[in-house]
Amino acid sequence: MKKLLLFLAISSTFLFSSCEGEDGQDGINILGQVYEVTTDLNYDSPNNLWRNIVTIPNDIVVYESDVVLVYLLEDVSQNGHDLWSPLPQNFFLSNGDIIQYVYNHTFFDVEILIDGNFDLISLGNQFTDDQTFRIAIVPAEYATANLSMEELLQNLEINNAQIETISN
C-alpha cells in the first residue's frame, strides 16, 4: 500500500507539473518618458534667481506616483557623446562663488532655476542661454537610485532617437 501511494504521489507530481495553460494577457507596460528642451533662463530680480518654466507636452501624463527627473547637458565628449548631469548640479566659479541648477515641478510643468550665493544678475550667459535639459517622467521605482542618463534610458528601454525635442 505504501508503494502504491508513493507511486501515485510521484506520478501525480509529474502529471500536474507538466500542465500548461494559455498565457494570460500582457499587462500594460508602464515605462517612463523622456523629452528634451533647449531654453534660456530669465532673471528674476526680486528673488535673485534665473528661471524658466517648461511645459510638459500634452501627450505625456504625469501620475501621482511618478517621479520627475531633470538632467543638464553639460558637455559633449571627444567621441561626440552627450554628457548629462542630474539636477541639482553645483558649479564652483573661479572667484569662489557657487551656483546651483535646481528644479521643481507640477503635473503640467517643470520649473528650472539657478540659485547662488551672490547677486546672480552678473552670472555669465554660458549658464543661462541655450541650456539643454532632458526631463524624464518615470515610475517611482526608477527614482530609488541616482541613475545616469544612460542608465535611465537603458532601464526605460528608450534610445536617443525616441526622445522628443520640444520648443519652449
pLDDT at res. 127: 94
pLDDT at res. 10: 62
CB of 138 closer than 8 Å to CB of 32: yes
pLDDT at res. 16: 55
With CA atoms as reference, report the closest residue to 134 among 71, 74, 81. 71
Give residues with Cβ within 8 angstroms of 7, minimum separation 6. none
Query: Which stretches within the chain are classed as H helix?
Result: 2-17, 149-156
Least confident of 9-13, 130-134, 154-158: 9-13
- Tell the residue number behind the cell numbers 536617443, with chain if given: 160
pLDDT at res. 23: 62
Taking only the tens place, the pLDDT of each residue in 101-126 is: 999 999 999 999 999 999 999 998 99
* 53 or 164, higher pLDDT: 53
Instruction: State mean pLDDT over 136-159.
Output: 75
Least confident of 50-54, 98-102, 134-138, 161-165: 161-165
Query: Which grid coordinates are listed for 129?
Result: 542661454
Instruction: State mean pLDDT over 7-31.
Output: 56
Query: Which grid coordinates are listed for 167?
Result: 520648443
